[in-house]
Every structure is written in structure tokens, then in C-alpha cells.
A and B are shown apart, each in its own frame.
Chain A
Amino acid sequence: MAQVSEELDRYLSDFERFEKNGASRAASWVHELRKAAIARFAELGFPTTRHEEWKYTAVAPIAKVPFTRVGDDRPMFLSWALERLGFGLSEGARLVFVNGHYAREYSSLRALPGGVRAGNLAAALADDWERVEPHLARYARYQDHAFVALNTAFIEDGAFLYLPAGTVVGDPIHLVFISTARGTASASHPRNLIVAGHNSQATIVETYVGTDKAVYFTNAVTEVVVGENAAIDHYKLQRESEEAFHVATLEVHQGRSSNFGSHSIALGGALVRNDVNVVLDGEGSECTLNGLYMVTGQQHVDNHTRIDHARPHCLSRQLYKGVLDGKARGVFNGKIVVHPPAQKTDARQTNKNLLLSGDALIDTKPQLEINNNDVKCTHGSTIGRLDEDSIFYLRSRGIGEEMARSLLTYAFASEIINRIKVEPLRATLENLLVTRFQQGLPMEATP
């Protein structure tokens, strides 16, 4: 118990320092929110594996390391790192965050249509708070989730996007989160808010990378409000360094006839937990959740999804695929909750896993909770290995065994890759996967 409170105390005293310093300039409602969140975090503590939602993921390794937030001091070598990561050439707007702080000099807001507000949350909390306040922390419930509570307590910076009604943004908007841990166990708590007005449309790509092989902790929360008839495509590419911890929640709230797509690609990190929660809170809304996790070595990746069908005639589709090699461990927990008013719900959920080694492990748990009688719901999961007949077929044509295995693994993953509509992102991923298969290495981000 002493150990546990020591771990929490570290965050509580970090919080005190945080409130004392720059963060104290924030409006009082932000202070209240942070205080409520840190209090809730103190109550909840870090989850243990006795907690149903954390049954297969022990977060003790995160709790043990004395992580602290790092200040806004940026190394100067980032330009080339960005180039190498493929952002130098990317079209569209780009918001870059370094260790959780907005880096204006690497960001670019050109090519955004008029009326769109794109910038960092810290600035928006000061200048545009009336657009932020109605939404911030209204969806991602810190009351139930220790890491969301921790993130909320440390709300300071992140991306803020506001699309006025009817705005169509053609090129993807990139949100890039770079960790440059140098020796210290640094933590960042990026907080993103995306508000899409009626009939608006945009593609958003979140990328998480580390520049060093170091222990750091990213604890991100993104809230997305999808207005009536709006269409948002969200991509998340997680390429943290191989020793990093990454915990993230994507919380989506959908209005009537809206459409939301999530593509969550998890490649890096030592210990990774992704929560994607969608509330279909408007009649006729649709969401598609695609996921791909590819891990090896000692990596652990946990994907939790929850879709709440709260209104009639909503549709949800989920396909998560996992490739696990080495001694990697994966978790998929997908929950679909159909609420009493959600007549004519159409929900489909699939999780498929490919185990490349005898030591890799996956726990998969699709769950359905249906509270009315007029629904169409299916769910299922599979765990398999590479098909020996297919390997022999390829080899019998002259293709070497390693190449045959790579090709089949790639083929397995390609079902998700092919759904990526952002061309440079798809190309980046294809390259990463090919390299990964050729070298048999983890796909950490080190540029």
C-alpha cells in the first residue's frame, strides 16, 4: 500500500507544481476541472488486473517509473526528424507537438479553408474558450478511467480543431506528437479536441512517435464531436519508441446522420493501451472502426473498443486485426452496447489475429450487450497461424520460405492497410511493413 501511495503521490505533487506554474493562468472552470480530475485519479489509483477492463494489461510498469512532465524546451534537430518521418512533404495542415507542447515553428496551418480554427488547445483555452468549454471533458469520462483522469488533471495543450458548419477540408490535417525523451522519464498528456459542425467534413491523422530509444510515457486523450451529417475520418498511427508507454483514449460523440471512421494502427511501444469509444447519439449515424496492431519482442498492446448504440437506425462496423510475433502479447476487448431506444441497430464486429510465433499470445473478447429486440448484431474473433498450404504453394513457385511468410503476413495486414484512404500514410505503412518483415524487427519509430 505504501508503494501504491508513493506512486500516486508523485503525480499529486507533480500536479501541485503544474498548478503553481504556468497552468495557473487558465480560467477557473479549467482549474475546477483539473482539480476534480486529479481528485478522481487519487481515488481510482492505477488500475490493477483485478479490474475487469484491465484484466490482461498490468500497468505496474508505468506506475513504477517516476514520470514527470517536461517543460516546453525543444531540441533543434527536429526538422530532419520530421522530414524522415515523412511529414516534410505532406500536404495539408500540420500541428506538431513536442513532449506535449505545441511547436509552432514545425507546424503549418496553410491550406485550411476560412473559418476553420486549428491550433493548440493552450491558446484556445485563452482566446477561444467559449468554443472549447461546451465540449472539453464532456465526453471522455475521467470519472471511470484513471488515465483519462490523469490526462484531464494535466490538461494544458494539444490540438484544437473547430470546423464550422458546412466546412469541407480536403487535405488531411496532421497532428504529430513527438517525444524527445533524453535521459529523464518524461510524461506528456496531450489533450485534443475536435469539433466538427453540421455538414462538415475532414480527415485527421494523429501520429505518435519518439525520437530516442528511451522510457517515456504518452497519455493522450482525443475527444471528437461529430455534428449532424458531418463526416470525419480519423487515423492514428502509433510509432512510439520500443521502450515507451502509450495510453490513449479516443472518445467520439456522433450526431444525427453523421459518419465517423477510425483507423488505429499500433506498431510501437513497450506497453500500449488504446481505448476507442463511440457513442452513436443521433439517428442514422454510422461508424467504422478499423484497427491493426503488429507487435513483436516483448511488446504488449491492448485495444479496447466500445460502441454505444443509443439511437435507432445506426450502423457500426469493426475490424481489428493483430499480428503478433516474438513474445508479444495482444488484447482485444470489443464491446457493443445496444440501448433500449436503438431499434434497427446494425452492428458487426470482427477481430482476427495471426500468431507468428509459439510464444506470442492474444486474449480476445468480443462482447455484445443488447437491450432491445430489433437489432442485427454479429461478432466474432479468430486466432490463427500462417497457413502451411499457402506457404508451400508459394515456395513451390520458387519464393523462399522467409519471403513466403512475409508475403502472407503482409497479405493478412493489407486488409486494413487497403482501407487507408490517405495515400502518403498508406505508402508509409506499406514501407514500414515491408521493412519490418524483411528485418524481423520491431517497428519502432526511431528516425
Chain B
Amino acid sequence: MLEIRNLHAKAGNNGILRGVDLTVNAGEVHAVMGPNGSGKSTLAQVLAGRADYEVTAGEVIYEGKDLLTMAPEDRAREGIFLGFQYPVEIPGVSTTYFLKAAFNAIRKHRGLEELDAVDFLALIKEKTKILAVDQSLLNRPINEGFSGGEKKRNEIFQMAVLEPKLALLDETDSGLDIDALKIVANGVNALRSPDRAMLVITHYQRLLNYVVPDYVHVLVDGRIVKSGGQALALELEAKGYDWVKADAAMAQPTSA
């Protein structure tokens, strides 16, 4: 589904991604872990099409298409979803209106009939029940005055409504209390399916107790330096990132 080859990206003069290689197949859940500043969020933002980053080398093939030439909205319409680390507050636009616009833009792109207001409302109400999200959220402006946990839940709720093929979750677990973490994890697990893939970016192993990944990758200095299974996440939790960093420095002395 997704093939990242030798991806290099920079913001201003700072090289942040320095040769990322990663293949994600449908049905898989990949966790990308790494210390602060390793480029995890940049990877997610570059995949979603943020213009602040310049791709200087490499390519990303998504479902056979060149992802990097596509506008952010076209990536979304092709099935990519980014759960933001810091969701934006947008006063004056109701969540329902926003989601309907997004939902129908995606359907239109796929040649499907757009849903009218009544059908759409029924759909999202159903989703609020599945995710145990308060229905009052629907009439509130997007994220306005939400707590950090509410914002993250809203991201998962949007994901559930838009039903992406590839979900990129950027530190969706950071700063969540136990209940919110469970809700987020349940939301993610509910969406796991053989034709959907997920890239879960996280700093901590905590979320992975609830969302068991198929693969765990460690990103250090803009490069994936180690890959493994769930056990790797536990090892990182126990030993920290220093040993992977040291290993990486040994293997690539010029990269430090």
C-alpha cells in the first residue's frame, strides 16, 4: 500500500528526514517510535502533504501512485488520514458541517453519490455511539475549547467517519489520561481491517499495550535504525533510546 524509499526532507536548512525506507502493506499496523526530534512527526506531516517541508530526495508510492506530487486534499481523498499531534481549533465552523464537507469531498472523488444532511447525521450519530463520544461535539465548533484529550478523541472520531485506507496517527496517545487512551485505542482497534493500514507514531510504548502493532520501527536522526515486533517496543520502554542511538552511531558514523 505504501512504499517509502530513501525519503529525505528538510524544513528551512534543517535536514530532518535523512533516508527513510518503509513498506506498509494493507492490514498491517506499524508503530514508529523514536526520541524527540528524531523526525517522527515530520514523517507524518510529509506524508500528509504539509508544505512546510521540502522533500529533497527519495519517493513515496501510495497504491501505485506518486504520493509526493499530490495536494493534501487529494491524498485525503485517496484515503490517507492524518491524526494530528496538535489538532487545530477552528472557531465558527461546526464539526458536523466540516465533516460533511470532508466526507462528501472524498465520496465525490471516488465517484460515489454525496450524502445529504439527514443521512450524514445518522451516520455520524452512529459513529459517536461506537466511539463513546459525546454527541454535543457535533454542534460545537471544531476543537474550540476542547481539552487535549477531547481533541485527540475528536481525531479518532473523524477517522472513524472518514474511514481512511491508511491512517497516520501522530502521537495521538501523548498526554492522554487512562480513559482517553483506552477510547483512542478502542477507536484504532475498531478500524483495524485487512484492507486498511495504520502508521502509529508514538514516543511511548503505553499505547502499544492496547494497540498491538505488527511491526515496530525506531526512527533516530531521520532514519529508521531498527525494526522488529512488539518485543522491540517493550525493550525500548525498558532501556530507553540511548542504546539504539549508540547502535545507530556505530553503524553510520557519519550521520551523527
Interface residues of A (CB under 8 A from B): 387, 389-390, 392-401, 403-404, 407-408, 410-412, 414-415
Q: Decide yes or no: A411 and B93 within 8 Å by CB, A396-B82, A397-B98, A398-B106 being known contacts.
A: yes
B109 touches A397 (CB 8 A): no
B102 within 8 A of A: yes
- A396 and B92 contacting across the interface, CB-CB below 8 Å: no
Q: What are 8 sample pairs from A and B whose C-beta atoms fall under 8 A apart?
A: A392-B50, A392-B72, A393-B90, A394-B102, A396-B49, A396-B72, A398-B109, A412-B92
A394 to B50, CA, bound (A): 12
Q: Which residue of B lies closest to A398 (CB)?
A: B76
**Inter-chain contact B92/A411, CB cutoff 8 Å:** yes
Given contacts A395-B72, A398-B109, A414 and B92 within 8 Å (CB-CB): yes
User: How far is the CB of A24 from the nearest CB of chain B, in Å?
Assistant: 54
B48 at the interface (CB under 8 A from A): yes
B153 within 8 A of A: no
Q: Which residues of A contact B109 (CB under 8 A)?
A: 398
A356 to B180: give the CA distance in the assembly, Å.
38
Check if A390 sits within 8 Å of B88, measured CB to CB: yes
| Inter-chain contacts of A400 with B (CB < 8 A) | 73, 105
Closest residue to B97 on the A side, CB-wise? A407
Indicate if B250 sits at the interface (CB-CB under 8 A).
no
Q: Judge whether A393 and B71 touch: CB under 8 Å.
A: no
Smallest beta-carbon distance A420→chain B, Å: 14
Name B's A-contacting residues (CB within 8 A): 48-51, 71-73, 75-77, 81-82, 84, 87-88, 90-93, 98-99, 101-103, 105-106, 109, 141, 158, 162
Report yes or no: A398 in contact with B92, Cβ–Cβ below 8 A.
no
Other-chain residue from B88, B103, B106 in contact with A387 (beta carbon distance below 8 A) = B88
Q: Is the CB of A393 within 8 A of B106?
A: no
Q: In the complex, A240 Cα to B55 Cα: how many Å?
A: 49
**Contact call B105/A393, Cβ cutoff below 8 A:** no
CB distance from B70 to the nearest CB of A (A): 11
- The interface residues of chain A lying within 8 Å CB-to-CB of B50 are 392
What's the Cα separation between A83 and B224 when bound, in Å? 67
Cα–Cα distance between A121 and B106 once the two chains are bound (Å): 57
Q: List the A side residues contacting B101 at CB < 8 Å.
A: 399, 403, 407
B102 touches A411 (CB 8 A): no
With A392-B72, A412-B92 given, is the CB distance from A398 to B49 under 8 Å? no
Q: How far is the CA of A403 from the CA of B98 in the complex (A)?
A: 11
Measured between beta carbons, the chain B residues less than 8 angstroms from A411 are: 90-93, 141
Residues of chain A with a CB closer than 8 A to B82's CB: 396
Given the interface pairs A390-B88, A393-B88, A407-B101, the reply to whether A398 lies near B162 with Cβ below 8 Å is yes
**Cross-chain contact of B93 among A389, A392, A395, A407 (Cβ < 8 A):** A407
Chain A residues with CB below 8 A from B102, complex form: 394, 397-399
Q: Name which residue of chain B comes closest to A389, CB basis.
A: B88
Closest-CB distance, A427 to chain B (whole angstroms)? 16
Alpha-carbon distance A399/B106, docked complex (angstroms): 8
Question: Quick one: which of B48, B91, B141 contacts A396, CB cutoff 8 A?
Answer: B48
Residues of A within 8 A of B81 (CB): 396-397
Contact A393 B92 (CB under 8 A): no
Give Cα A400 to B102, complex, Å.
9
Are A408 and B73 neighbours in the complex by a CB distance under 8 Å? no
Beta-carbon contact of A410 and B92 below 8 Å: yes
Q: In the complex, how many angstroms separate the beta carbon of B62 from the nearest chain A beta carbon?
A: 14
- Which residues from chain B contact A398 at a C-beta distance below 8 Å? 73, 76-77, 102-103, 105-106, 109, 162
- B77 to chain A: which residues have CB within 8 Å? 398
Cα distance A412–B75 in the bound complex, in angstroms: 27
Residue of B nearest to A400 (CB): B73
* Complex interface: chain B residues within 8 A of A408 (CB): 90, 93
Complex contacts, A407 vs chain B, CB 8 Å: 93, 98, 101
